[in-house]
Structure 1
């Protein structure tokens, strides 16, 4: 084989090897050949894009495929044109990530958001040879989201219809809408238990993934953590306060992509226990 090595690599700028808006990536394209070759062009490419794809079954014989794609940037630089090379060569490159709103790196079985660097080696009468590598991009926090720093409220009434009677009203509040990984989320729940059963509230922090393509939506949720609260006796009112530490390893929310959305939500679930009060 004439070409022994054709690869692309880049330098990390921090210990986490994470880049954000406006950062500059420095790297190199490496070409090693055993004998002289004629190169038509050597091209450097940087791309950021999102893709979704899933299948849905309708009846026994019909399967529909839903796909969509969203591009954020595509930059090309010509490194070489019409030249001959042999031996080992290193071609440096520098690329500045666009300083605009773009979604962070994301990957699942249904969709992905990728930021990648590519090199294309073009030769006459031969298939273009490609080398690529992905880099992790984390978008800067979007502080323009409405209500990000404002207190949040929610309420829910639940009626018991089996093994008991009455209603439970829950008013939930948090200090604000947006939190960083590692921060403490303080939840206050005012519970009015007008049912015949004891209520044991449970707090659930979960993530919600939504995918959009061709007018369809696919969604799935998964729990991140659960916290139990003190019970509330039948016929009583109680204010429950619970502190939840946001896991540091959670990926950031994705709210600025038209085909993929990643959200974190909090719900309070009233579970009933004990004998009915007569």
Structure 2
């Protein structure tokens, strides 16, 4: 086997290392050989796709729900055997570098994302075919960010106006042996990654015990395939407010910070979406909770973490 190394790399277009619709994706495929190597086909592919898969037990059988969508698929062929299989095309011995360039379509596409039962990926894959039995492949993913300012609102839905300024409040009352009323007000509906928001809680505690508000960030992932839906939820503790003593009323304010690594809300994928809620729970004579809608917006991004590039080194094994 004369192919010793195969790798694919790309050039960054900004400090964050991300790509968006309309950007030029360029790079190089590197091949190292120990001698002249006959090749049937040698190419690099650029792909953008979304895929959803989950399994559901139905009686004794397991049913698989799966769907996928392709956003783009380009190929750049470096070498192709004109005689269709005789391997007459040759890569010379040593290190060989092949440049490539693609223009990402300037259309609305969702950002890179990986959830419980689905993911949205953008990748480069190099493939070197020597014969039907000998095919070398290597792949690397590149981070992609949508250009949509509001990827949570499709064109058919109402666009939220004044997202950054809008306040939201609600009230809940419940009765047991006594009355407890909780009023929650969120400073704004839309919060950027890494930004802080102020949440105010007013509690009228007519019960005989102390109650304490607790704040949670609720994440909801929805996946769709074959006319079926599945939901995955997750709760993260945001913080705890001040205790409210029995037979008192008190207002408390909490500053909650959105983690910079938190993925923004999105709705611009037909197979999956990501939503958030702010939940305030009050432990007391009868536990109660209030959920407020929360939209996480893309903030001033830092360089995104990406999956490590996968290069292939081939070694001769002596048995």
Measured against the shorter chain, the TM-score band is 0.7 to 0.9
Is the 1:29–1:91 Cα contact (8 Å) retained in structure 2? Answer: yes
Displacement of 1:167 in angstroms is: 3.9
Equivalent residue number for residue 215 of structure 2: 203
Displacement of 1:202 in angstroms is: 1.4
1:25-36 equivalences in 2 (<5 Å): 25-36=25-36
Moved more, 193-202 or 263-272: 193-202
Structure 1 residues 73 and 173 mapped into 2: Cα distance closer, same or farther (>3 Å)?
Answer: farther
Equivalent residue number for residue 68 of structure 1: 67
Moved more, 112-121 or 82-91: 82-91
Equivalent residue number for residue 18 of structure 2: 18
Counterparts of 2:257 and 2:48, CA distance in 1:
32
Moved more, 151-160 or 175-184: 151-160
Displacement of 1:124 in angstroms is: 5.0
Counterparts of 1:198 and 1:13, CA distance in 2:
56
Structure 1 residues 70 and 182 mapped into 2: Cα distance closer, same or farther (>3 Å)?
Answer: same
Displacement of 1:47 in angstroms is: 0.7
Structure 1 residues 216 and 125 mapped into 2: Cα distance closer, same or farther (>3 Å)?
Answer: closer
1:44-55 equivalences in 2 (<5 Å): 44-55=44-55
Equivalent residue number for residue 133 of structure 1: 140
Equivalent residue number for residue 112 of structure 1: 119
Give TM-score, length-normalised by structure 2.
0.74
Counterparts of 1:96 and 1:104, CA distance in 2:
17
Pair 1:223-2:235 in alignment: yes
Q: How many residues align?
A: 269
Equivalent residue number for residue 93 of structure 1: 100
Is the 2:108–2:148 Cα contact (8 Å) retained in structure 1? Answer: no
- Per chain length, whose mean CA-contact separation is higher, i.e. which structure has more relative contact order (CA < 8 Å, sep 6+)? 2
SS in 2 for 1:19: coil
Pair 1:149-2:164 in alignment: yes
Corresponding residue to 1:174 among 156, 161, 186 = 186
- C-alpha distance after superposition, 1:10-53 (max 9, x if no partner): 23345543333333332111122233233333222111111121
Is the 2:168–2:189 Cα contact (8 Å) retained in structure 1? Answer: no
Displacement of 1:244 in angstroms is: 0.7
Equivalent residue number for residue 276 of structure 1: none
Is the 1:196–1:235 Cα contact (8 Å) retained in structure 2? Answer: yes
Is the 1:52–1:259 Cα contact (8 Å) retained in structure 2? Answer: yes
- C-alpha distance after superposition, 1:102-136 (max 9, x if no partner): 22222245221111001222345445432211112
Displacement of 1:150 in angstroms is: 4.7
Give TM-score, length-normalised by structure 1.
0.84
Equivalent residue number for residue 41 of structure 1: 41
Structure 1 residues 194 and 155 mapped into 2: Cα distance closer, same or farther (>3 Å)?
Answer: farther
Structure 1 residues 72 and 156 mapped into 2: Cα distance closer, same or farther (>3 Å)?
Answer: farther
- C-alpha distance after superposition, 1:61-106 (max 9, x if no partner): 2222111112211122223333322223110112233333222222
